[in-house]
Amino acid sequence: MSERSGQTTAGSIAAAGGAAVAEDAPAGSVPARKRTLADSAPTSTADRLTERFRQIRGRGALEIGLVFVLVQLGCIIYYLVDPAGFPYLEKSNFNVLSQSIPVLAILAIGAGVLIIAGEFDLSLGANFTFCALVFTRWYADSASAWTATGMAVVTGIAIALLNGILVTKAKIPSFIVTLGMMLFWEGAALFYNGTTASLMVPSEAMKQVFTADLGFFRGQVLWLIGIGVVFWLLVHRHRLGNHIFAVGGNPAAARAISINPDRVKIIAFGVLGLCVALAAILTAVRTGSVQPGTGRGMELKAIAAAVVGGVALSGGRGSVLGMVLGAALILTVQDILLLGGAPGFYLDLFVGLIIVAAAFFNRMIEGKAK
């Protein structure tokens, strides 16, 4: 508001000055044009690229993108030096990465959008498990693939919307609400399916739709690209995205300009539920079975990927591209550790350190912005 007021004041002064000049100017001269906000918009291609570069950097995507590129270059060099000991560029390794990265990246998009809106959802993993169980059970009970998919999507969105309504209407912190709902839905999964795995045998048509073999990559990559583009447009090119950033950055200021923070947060919870359901379906089709504890711990990995991708834990800042790159970086490092023969617990050490480092880095960026 202060910047806009400053621009108005400057424009008023310029207009007053122009009027004074016009009084002294000879008759028939063209009066000075009043300066508007549109005059500050970039006009040339170079100015537009500079502005776009500044926006990407401000959202944290540039830094994580550079780190990701450097990691990839290091892996390629290592592979060229020792292809037998470090088969990073082999087809089998790319198949593994192209199946795991899209799932975590989709979850990171959902968690990241919610964090930008200023809330958390610790029941993400339990929601993931329950959606996968609903999908496999309905499909195994002779329902069509589309019916099973629809039921899983409705389940995921409904669970997330319930969390959003409890948070916004009861005014209970999302950390408390979703922690309790995480335990509830973990118990509900056991009640719904029991302690045994839920099995399914996906048809060839379903495999082609969700997990098609594309040579070096799998069909999950196409799903990630499609979902990523849709949510990039929603978050960065749509009015709803502006509202999400406004609510997460300053709810009081958003309310002052007629934005309903509760409505925006509930929608953000619904976005997370949709992403959780889609990720659960991709996982169920790939594995053909779902354990009652399949999604345990995924909420932390999704939040970690979003934070590594530049999403501010305090809300109001982040980018869809950064969320995807954060997930890709975490799983790439996991792949490096596995190819190098490192123990599995090294990954937990890395994720813990990278969350703290990313949060510290984001805090530094916010401090400079202020």
Q: Give dist(CA 146, CA 176) in Å, integer.
A: 35
Q: Is the pLDDT of residue 140 over 50?
A: yes
Task: Tell me the two tokens of residue 148.
Answer: 């099973």
- Per-residue pLDDT, 366: 61
Cβ burial, residue 249 (10 Å; 0-12/13-18/19+): middle
Sign of the dihedral defined by the CA atoms of residues 199, 269, 272, 298, in that order:
negative
**Percent residues over pLDDT 90 in the chain:** 55
- 10 inside domain: no
Instruction: Convert the pLDDT of each residue in 181-203 to its tens digit.
Output: 999 999 999 999 988 899 998 88
Contact 18, 31 (CB under 8 A): yes
For residues 368 and 194, what is the distance between their CA atoms, to the nearest angstrom?
Answer: 52
Locate 168 and state its tokens. 């916004």
How much is the pLDDT for 224? 96
Establish if 326 belongs to a structural domain.
yes
Q: Is 321 contained in some domain? A: yes
Q: What is the pLDDT of residues 210-227, one digit of tens each?
A: 999 888 889 999 999 999
Q: What is the mean pLDDT of the chain?
A: 84
Between 310 and 265, residue with greater pLDDT = 265
**pLDDT category, 359, cuts 50, 70, 90?**
confident
Structure tokens of 284? 């169920």
Q: Which residue has the tokens 């949060």?
A: 359
pTM score: 0.83
H or E stretch including 91?
A: helix 91-116
- 13-27, 72-86, 160-174, 283-297: segment of lowest average pLDDT: 13-27
Orientation of helix 145-170 relative to helix 174-193, angle to 10°:
150
CATH number for the domain including 268? Answer: 1.10.3470
* pLDDT, position 63: 79
Would you state the pLDDT for residue 33?
Answer: 60
Tell me the residue range of the domain where 321 lies.
94-369
Q: How far is 308 from 321, CA to CA, in rounded Å?
A: 11
Alpha-carbon radius of gyration of the chain: 25
Higher pLDDT, 64 or 190: 190
The predicted pLDDT at position 312 comes to: 87
56 lies in a domain? no
Residues contacting 29, CB < 8 A, separation 6+: 22
- Of 105, 100, 82, 102, nearest in space to 339 by CA: 82
SS3 for 201?
Answer: coil
Say yes or no to pLDDT of 24 above 50.
no
SS3 content of the chain, % helix, strand, coil (to 5): 75, 0, 25
Residue 217 is given by DSSP the state S
The reply to whether 195 falls in a domain is yes
pLDDT at 6 over 60: no
Decide if 262 is inside a domain: yes
Using 50, 70 and 90 to split pLDDT, how confident is the model at 17?
very low
Mean pLDDT of 206-211: 90
Give me the number of domains the chain comprises.
1
Mean pLDDT of 293-322: 90
**pLDDT score of 141:** 86
The token pair that represents 157 in the structure block: 């969105």
Q: State the pLDDT confidence band at 62, using cuts at 50, 70 and 90.
A: confident
Q: What are the structure tokens assigned to 86, written together?
A: 């470090």
Q: Which of 223, 183, 187 lies closest to 98, judged by CA?
A: 223
CA within 13 Å, CB half, 342 = 16
89 within domain boundaries? no
User: Is the C-alpha dihedral spanning 68, 127, 187, 283 positive or negative?
Assistant: negative
E-state strands within the chain: 198-199, 289-290
CA distance 100 to 152: 20
Residue 267 inside a domain? The answer is yes
